[in-house]
């Protein structure tokens, strides 16, 4: 049996390793080297998975998460850790569950994948941009821009999304999937910041809040909430609280931000300070509860409050209106940032057209998909890379389902 994997990223290399134990396996990579995007993950430190159960991990995927259930149970986060440690790369787990190579060097993770490809006879052809692929009877014909033609019995699409185009993730896989009749959900940026239509806090770019919370509304309907760290940027907002949900935020959505992350608890603390701090300046009530002084002065001034008057001169209703500036600050989402600024791509091959038990196309037998080319997206923290390992493993294994795979 001959297997071709298109794409030399994490999902592609892992599916090739999984498939290679029962047949000739070739990886076609458009760039000069495989794994270029992997080297950028976790700021080069490679947050390779998250130490949790498959079910806990599923809670960090969206719309819908059940698609990954089988893959994540077949190759769990613990399997990922064992795989890399078995092959010479020790892992460390942070208190928050993020798992990194002990060296904090993504190159060590890539080196394991490359070594396992060599060990199992996987041939990686670089500078092979696939321009077309078709099924002729039971055989797939793959044509590259270089003029090279390849034929195989099984074909795995693992070309990634459109984020980080400099690493080769330029969306080529979507056209290939569509040529086989697949529906591609419109690609959009995910795990990135958002722009806002008006940005009165631009001067505070770089200021962070840990934690904060957001509520997003569309046409007066609440569509999502999140709770995590927030960062003010030159164009709007970022940080995990935004990034983990950015793939769902659309232009025109109302984004309500609680800079305190404490909501009613913050209001209660503020009221208590107000009752006992008559001689204090109004603005100091907010700074004593942890809000940055410059931000407090700016927000109060912007909305007509005098931060210099005494607390005793302020009524409860005025205090509550001022508190809402920090616990229910409203911003309108603007046009999305470019895909080149996103960590991953939301959208891709419609999951309804892929068998989640095998990663095989429901439209074309012998055609498989793995990784970011599929319409799956998870939070930051190693979740998306685990999806690449799991779907890659399952796609490769399914190609050679009669093999006894030991990674």
In this prediction, residue 267 carries a pLDDT of 92
Which among 233, 199, 208 has a CA at the least distance from the CA of 332?
A: 199
CA distances from 210 to 127, 182, 254 (A): 44, 42, 22
Alpha-carbon gap, residue 325 to 329, rounded angstroms? 5
Which among 29, 67, 10, 135 has a CA at the least distance from the CA of 353?
A: 67
pLDDT above 80 (res 64): no
Q: Give pLDDT tens digits for 110-139.
A: 999 999 999 999 999 999 999 999 999 999
pLDDT above 50 (res 403): no
Eight-state DSSP code of residue 105: -
Listing DSSP states for 279-311 in one string gives TSBHHHHHHTTT--HHHHHHHHHHTT--SSSBG
User: What value does the mean pLDDT take over residues 88-106?
Assistant: 96
Alpha-carbon gap, residue 298 to 293, rounded angstroms? 9
Q: Tell me which of 23-37, 58-72, 124-138 is least confident.
A: 58-72
User: What value does the mean pLDDT take over residues 87-98?
Assistant: 96
Q: Give pLDDT tens digits for 302-312.
A: 998 876 777 67
pLDDT above 80 (res 283): yes
Q: What percent of the chain has pLDDT over 90?
A: 76
Query: By the 8 A CB rule, do 93 and 99 touch?
Result: yes
pLDDT above 80 (res 62): no
Q: Cβ–Cβ contacts within 10 Å for residue 127, how many? A: 14
Place of tokens 């399997």: 79
User: What value does the mean pLDDT take over residues 9-26?
Assistant: 93
Alpha-carbon gap, residue 86 to 209, rounded angstroms? 39
Q: Give pLDDT tens digits for 154-204.
A: 999 999 888 766 555 678 899 999 999 999 999 888 889 999 999 999 999
Alpha-carbon gap, residue 369 to 398, rounded angstroms? 11
């Amino acid at each position: 049996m001959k297997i071709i994997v298109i794409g030399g990223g994490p999902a592609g290399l892992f599916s090739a390793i999984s498939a290679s134990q029962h047949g000739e396996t070739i990886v076609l990579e458009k760039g000069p080297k495989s794994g270029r995007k992997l080297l950028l993950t976790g700021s080069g430190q490679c947050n390779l998975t998250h130490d949790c159960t498959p079910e806990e991990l599923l809670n960090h995927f969206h719309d819908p998460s059940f698609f990954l259930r089988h893959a994540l149970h077949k190759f769990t986060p613990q399997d990922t850790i064992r795989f890399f440690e078995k092959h010479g790369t020790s892992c460390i787990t942070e208190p928050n569950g993020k798992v990194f190579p002990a060296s904090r060097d993504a190159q060590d993770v890539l080196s394991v994948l490359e070594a396992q490809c060599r060990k199992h006879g996987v041939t990686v052809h670089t500078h092979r941009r696939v321009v077309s692929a078709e099924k002729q009877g039971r055989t797939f014909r793959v044509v590259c821009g270089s003029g090279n033609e390849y034929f195989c019995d099984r074909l795995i699409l693992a070309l990634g999304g459109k984020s980080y185009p400099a690493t080769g993730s330029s969306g080529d896989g979507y056209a290939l999937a569509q040529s086989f009749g697949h529906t591609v959900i419109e690609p959009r940026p995910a795990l990135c910041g958002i722009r806002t239509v008006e940005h009165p806090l631009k001067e505070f770019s770089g200021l962070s809040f840990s934690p904060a919370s957001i509520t997003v509304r569309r046409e007066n309907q609440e569509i999502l909430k999140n709770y995590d760290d927030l960062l003010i940027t030159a164009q709007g907002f970022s940080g995990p609280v935004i990034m983990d949900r950015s793939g769902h935020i659309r232009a025109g959505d109302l984004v309500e931000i609680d800079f305190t992350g404490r909501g009613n608890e913050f209001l209660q603390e503020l009221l208590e300070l107000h009752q006992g701090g008559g001689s204090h300046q109004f603005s100091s009530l907010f700074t004593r509860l942890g809000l940055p002084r410059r931000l407090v002065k700016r927000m109060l001034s912007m909305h007509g409050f005098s931060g210099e008057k005494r607390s005793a001169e302020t009524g409860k209703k005025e205090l509550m209106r001022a508190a809402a500036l920090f616990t229910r600050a409203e911003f309108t989402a603007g046009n999305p940032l470019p895909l080149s600024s996103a960590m991953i791509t939301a959208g891709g091959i419609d999951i309804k057209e892929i068998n989640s038990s095998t990663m095989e196309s429901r439209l074309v037998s012998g055609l498989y998909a793995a990784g970011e080319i599929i319409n799956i997206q998870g939070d930051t923290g190693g979740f998306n890379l685990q999806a690449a390992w799991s779907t890659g493993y399952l796609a490769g294994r399914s190609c050679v389902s009669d093999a006894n795979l030991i990674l």
